[in-house]
Amino acid sequence: MLQDCVIVGGGIAGLQAAIQLGRYNHRVLVLDSGDGRSSYCLQYHNLLGWPDGISGPELRQHGRIHAERLGVTFVSGRAVGAKQTDEGFAVETESGETVRAKRLLLATGVMDRLPELKGELTPCLGISIYVCPDCDGYELTGKRALVIGSGNVGARMALTLLYWTRNLVYINHEQTGVDKELIAQMEKSGVEYVNEAVRELKRDGSFLTGVVTASGRTLKAERGFVAFGGNEVRSNLAQQLGVRLHANRHVLADPRTKMTNVMNVWAAGDVLAHSEQTAIAMGDGSQAAIWIHKSLIEPQGSQALAPLVAASGPET
């Protein structure tokens, strides 16, 4: 069946877009690999309406139920290819299936590079160990915290987190080089610098209590951040379709419509070049869906969209 829109990605942006498009009574299919950021974050603390937090899996579940009530179809699978057709677009899955649609929304997201640590990192993510200072820097207020990271990326994270706490230790887990200027700034600010790997993570349930380093040293803490850089921006499908990418591989899209430089291909959420926030992903999904709807109901396409395709700008 030819869908009105296929959404690649069943995370926060994809779900919000699916809900909006479902409320327009469009035929919508969401292709969800189920392994995005929102599938492992156990607590979002900065969302309107959830002062005590809500987990990513719970938010996804609510979103899927909401979308299904509106007639949206969900298919579990990973998209590995996409191409333009006479009808619109064909998206091929890892299992060899093909889904077809008039419009395509890429909500493929970003995957953080996380270390494999004895003691299990994942049960703490979003509860006592975090990746985004804008989302969760506040959680360090008045607490002793560790930054487990790599080279300059981890050092810059430690310096950023000084806004919330002065009781910080930076553990350069991969022992990559750190610029002398950053070392000097950490020393001046009272950030302890430990240039060795973490051997074991210590926790009480989902709450970090400390780490043991390769030399056997125990460092106690109440909260932690990971900062390794090299996150995977999932923009391969966009690249296949000729969508313009930022130098860091994030997708460039029109700020008003969320359409890319390729006609009838939209993008939303963390795969875009902007702040990676759940609330922003929701807004992206809704905004993209509004303009997808406009393009579907006008036989010649929305007149507002045509000039905005070129306005996405060149790769920078």
- Within-domain flag for 146: yes
Q: CB-side exposure of 167: number of CA atoms within 13 Å?
A: 12
When pLDDT is averaged across residues 178-192 and rounded to a whole number, the result is: 98
**What band does 168 get if pLDDT is binned at 50, 70 and 90?**
very high
Q: Which pLDDT tens digit goes with each residue over 31-72?
A: 999 988 899 899 999 999 999 999 999 999 999 999 999 999
Pairing of strands 207-213, 198-204: antiparallel
d(CA 299, CA 245): 29
**What band does 312 get if pLDDT is binned at 50, 70 and 90?**
very low
- With the C-alpha atoms ordered 13, 18, 20, 21, is the resulting torsion angle positive or negative? positive
Q: Of the residues 196, 227, 258, which one is the last residue of a structural domain?
A: 227
Type of residue at 267: A
Question: Angle at the Cα of 143 (from 138 to 145), degrees rounded to 5?
Answer: 90
Q: Is pLDDT above 60 for 310?
A: no
pLDDT of residue 120: 85
- Both 107 and 71 in a single domain? yes
How many structural domains does the chain have? 2
Q: Is pLDDT above 90 for 308?
A: no
Q: List the structure tokens of 148.
A: 């487990």
Q: Is pLDDT above 50 for 307?
A: no
The range of the structural domain enclosing residue 240 comes to 3-112+231-297
Does the predicted model carry a pTM greater than 0.85? yes
Q: List the structure tokens of 101.
A: 């649609």
- Both 49 and 79 in a single domain? yes
pLDDT of residue 187: 97
Of 126, 116, 5, 139, the C-alpha closest to 58 is: 126
- Both 28 and 61 in a single domain? yes
- Within-domain flag for 303: no
Q: Which pLDDT tens digit goes with each residue over 80-133?
A: 999 999 999 999 999 999 999 999 999 999 999 998 887 789 999 999 999 999
Pairing of strands 89-93, 79-84: antiparallel
Q: Of the residues 199, 227, 255, which one is the last residue of a structural domain?
A: 227
Q: Of the residues 227, 251, 268, which one is the last residue of a structural domain?
A: 227
- Both 198 and 131 in a single domain? yes
When computed from its CA atoms, the radius of gyration of the chain, rounded to whole angstroms, is 21
- Both 33 and 12 in a single domain? yes
Q: Which pLDDT tens digit goes with each residue over 216-233?
A: 999 999 999 999 999 999
When pLDDT is averaged across residues 204-222 and rounded to a whole number, the result is: 97
pLDDT of residue 276: 86
- What are the beta bridge partners of residue 201? 211
- Both 106 and 235 in a single domain? yes
DSSP symbol at 295: H
- CATH label of the domain that carries residue 192: 3.50.50.60
**What band does 275 get if pLDDT is binned at 50, 70 and 90?**
confident
- Within-domain flag for 304: no
- Both 239 and 97 in a single domain? yes
- Within-domain flag for 212: yes
Count CB neighbours of 82 within 10 A: 22
Type of residue at 71: G
